[in-house]
Structure 1
Amino acid sequence: MAAARKPTRRKKSKAEEISGTKLELTLAAEKVFAMNGVQGASLRQIREEAGQKNESAIHYYFGSREAIIESILAMRSKPIDADRHAMFEEARRQAAGKPLSTEQIMRCGMMPLARYLFGTQEPGYYLRFLVQLRMERSTWLHFNEMYGAGMEKCLDALKEAKPYLPKAIVEQRFLSMLFMHTNGMATIERIQSEKGESFRREEAWIRIEDIIACSAAMYDAPLSPETLEAIRGASELYDLPSYTDIAMIQKAGTGDDQ
Structure 2
Amino acid sequence: MTSRSEKARQALMDAAEELYALHGVEAVSNRAITERAGSANHSAVAYHFGTRDGLISALLRRHMDEVGPLRTARIERLDDATDLRALIACWVLPHVHVLRSTPAPAWRARFLFQLRTLPSADTLTREAMADADDPEALTARMSATLGDLPRGILHARAQIAAGVLLGVCAEFERLVALGDQEGSWEEVGVFLIDAIAGMIAAPVSPGGHYDPPRSPLGI
TM range (shorter): 0.7 to 0.9
1:213 and 2:194 correspond: yes
Name segments (4+ residues, structure 1) moved above 6 Å: none
- 1:225: how far off? 3.7
Matches within 5 A, 1:90-101: 90-91=77-78, 95=79, 97-98=80-81, 100-101=82-83
Q: Point out the more displaced range, 209-218 or 151-160.
A: 151-160
SS of the equivalent of 2:77 reads helix
Determine which of 54, 61, 64 is the counterpart of 2:48.
61
2:34 maps to 47
1:197-232, CA deviations, whole angstroms, 9 ceiling, x for partnerless residues?
A: x755x44543332221011001111112453xxx6x
2:162 maps to 178
- Structure 1: how far apart are the matches of 2:202 and 2:147? 13
Amino acid at match of 1:158: M
- Cα pair distance change 1:156/1:135, threshold 3 Å: farther
Amino acid at match of 1:36: H
- 1:55: how far off? 1.5
Query: Which blocks of at least 5 consecutive residues in structure 1 are unaligned?
Result: 1-17, 235-239, 241-258
- Cα pair distance change 1:79/1:205, threshold 3 Å: closer
2:217 maps to none
User: Greater RCO between the two (CA within 8 Å, min separation 6)?
Assistant: 2
- Does the CA-based 8 Å contact 2:75-2:90 persist in structure 1? yes
Query: Which blocks of at least 5 consecutive residues in structure 2 are unaligned?
Result: 212-219
Indicate the percent of aligned positions where both proteins have the same amino acid: 26
- Does the CA-based 8 Å contact 2:60-2:128 persist in structure 1? no
2:174 maps to 190
1:123 and 2:110 correspond: no
- 1:163: how far off? 4.8
Higher-Rg member (1/2):
1
- Structure 1: how far apart are the matches of 2:42 and 2:120? 28
1:132 maps to 114
RMSD: 2.4
The number of residues matched between the two structures is 205
- Cα pair distance change 1:156/1:123, threshold 3 Å: farther
Amino acid at match of 1:221: A
1:92-149, CA deviations, whole angstroms, 9 ceiling, x for partnerless residues?
A: xxx2x34x32211221111112211222332311111111222225422342243263
Amino acid at match of 1:43: N
TM-score of the aligned structures, taking structure 2 as reference length: 0.83
1:112 and 2:85 correspond: no
Matches within 5 A, 1:14-33: 19-33=6-20
